[in-house]
Amino acid sequence: MYDRGKVIAGIIIFLALVTFPFFYKTGKANVQIEPKINTPVIEGLSEKKCVESKEFMRANHMQLLNEWRDAAVRDGQRTYVASDGKSYAISLQNTCMNCHSNKKEFCDTCHSYTGVKPYCWDCHIAPMEAKR
């Protein structure tokens, strides 16, 4: 005869292992995500600042990117003057992704968490993942 106790214990352990990733993920879902900004370019900045404030960027980077695209493509405007007076080249690839060269740990972390999938990378070249 089989040892019922052992078989049941085995099944319980098996189920625990199989379902662990789900519980683990659910537990994590409440954690506030902190996208990583530790790229070589950002580490080298004297002031660790985005083109606009963090709060503005968090809430409005999609609109800003739309404005940048329209400015560049429709009006041939290639320079963005930020609210602090600093100028930036209008370029998703050469400006945003120069600093945020860790697309996976930065943009993608947030987007997969919120279920957003920008189609930009069908055409724009995503950065090579820079390793620290």
CB of 73 to ligand HEC, least distance (A): 5
Tell me the one-letter amino acid at 96: C
Contact positions vs ligand HEC (CB under 6 A): 35, 37, 42, 45, 48-51, 54, 57-58, 61-62, 64-65, 68-69, 72-73, 88, 90-93, 95-96, 99-100, 106-107, 110-111, 114, 116, 118-120, 122-124
What gap in Å lies between CA 114 and CA 93, rounded to an integer? Answer: 23
Q: Which is nearer to ligand HEC, 37 or 130 (CB)?
A: 37
Residues whose CB is less than 8 angstroms from the CB of residue 23 and which lie 6 or more positions away in sequence, other chains included: none
Torsion region of 60: left, alpha or beta (phi above 0 gives left; psi -120 to 50 gives alpha): alpha
What does the block give as tokens for 111? Answer: 């987007």
- In the complex, minimum distance from the CB of residue 94 to ligand HEC, in angstroms, rounded to a whole number: 7
Shortest Cβ 12–ligand HEC spacing (Å): 39
